[in-house]
Amino acid sequence: DTAVSQTPKYLVTQMGNDKSIKCEQNLGHDTMYWYKQDSKKFLKIMFSYNNKELIINETVPNRFSPKSPDKAHLNLHINSLELGDSAVYFCASSQERLLYEQYFGPGTRLTVT
Amino acid sequence: KNQVEQSPQSLIILEGKNCTLQCNYTVSPFSNLRWYKQDTGRGPVSLTIMTFSENTKSNGRYTATLDADTKQSSLHITASQLSDSASYICVVTPLSGGYNKLIFGAGTRLAVHP
């Protein structure tokens, strides 16, 4: 009965490849997010998305693209992977309200070699 | 310089002791300030959320305070337990800018020893 789940948990791939990380939430939330946590442990929001609007952090390269088949899923597709993409990626979800409680997934550790 | 600075960077305390973690921010105006707990290898879990008009918020043994005048927040942990060992992250949401403007601190890594 995991609230926010991500797959895979670990992903090792070579530079130049294209990969996807899947995220699913069973909380009935309207909004989902992708975060990147780098080696210094800073969390940075990459995208937020609900069935009405996609908000993109302007610092995210366009090699990263979120795809939402329905409001319970938000997948992250990454093209032409680079060494600097190595990080832990977290998916999260929340209701769309002012003091929204965010629920995070367990994270996907991406290593680009 | 990050807009949300946390101190100390790391802290070691003995089980049963209290501790206080600090968060200084320059984000202004802001909508709310949150504290998250992140266990190693896990996603962050929300502890408290305070609006700019609130001064304190408790969640069990965790008490967060906020001084909007000095732009400081603290997280006080009472009677620490081994399970409190984690990173504690302060997050500020600016009043404008929407979801993509959440600003995270680097966190304080707390280790509770028996």
pLDDT digits (tens, 9 = 90+) for B31-68: 889 999 999 989 999 999 999 889 999 999 999 999 99
Q: What is the pLDDT at residue B67?
A: 94
How close A70 comes to chain B (CA, Å)?
A: 20
- The residues pairing with A100 across neighbouring beta strands, listed in sequence order, are none
Q: What is the pLDDT at residue B20?
A: 98
pLDDT score of A99 more than 70: no
Please choose, from the candidates B8, B14, B110, the residue with its C-alpha nearest in 3D space to the C-alpha of residue B62: B110
Q: Distance (Å, rounded) from C-alpha B37 to C-alpha B84?
A: 9
DSSP string, B19-72: EEEEEEE---SEEEEEEEEE-TTS--EEEEEEETT--EEEETTEEEEEETTTTE
Average pLDDT value over all residues in chain A: 89
How close A105 comes to chain B (CA, Å)?
A: 6
Q: What is the pLDDT at residue B29?
A: 85
Say whether A41 and B106 touch across the interface (CB within 8 A): yes
Q: A83 or A45, which is more confident?
A: A83
Say whether B43 and A107 touch across the interface (CB within 8 A): yes
pLDDT score of A58 more than 80: no
Q: Distance (Å, rounded) from C-alpha B60 to C-alpha B67?
A: 21
Neighbours of B82 (CB within 10 A): 10
Radius of gyration of chain A (CA): 13
pLDDT score of A79 more than 60: yes
pLDDT score of B2 more than 80: no
Convert the pLDDT of each residue in A39-55 to its tens digit.
877 888 898 887 667 87
| Residue of chain A with shortest Cα separation from B43 | A106
**For range B87-98, the mean pLDDT:** 85
Q: Are strands A10-13 and A87-94 parallel, antiparallel or unpaired?
A: unpaired
Average pLDDT value over all residues in chain B: 92
Those residues with Cβ within 8 angstroms of residue B4's Cβ, 6 or more apart along the chain or in another chain:
B23, B24, B25, B26, B27, B90, B91, B92, B103, B104, B105
Q: Which of A102, A103, A108, A109 to mutate to test the interface with B (most CBs of B within 10 A)?
A: A102
**Band of pLDDT at residue A1, cut at 50, 70 and 90:** low
Q: Does A106 touch chain B (CB under 8 A)?
A: yes
- CB proximity under 8 Å: A 23-52 to B: 31, 33, 40-45, 47-48
Q: Across B9-13, B24-28, B31-35, B102-106, which has the greatest mean pLDDT?
A: B9-13
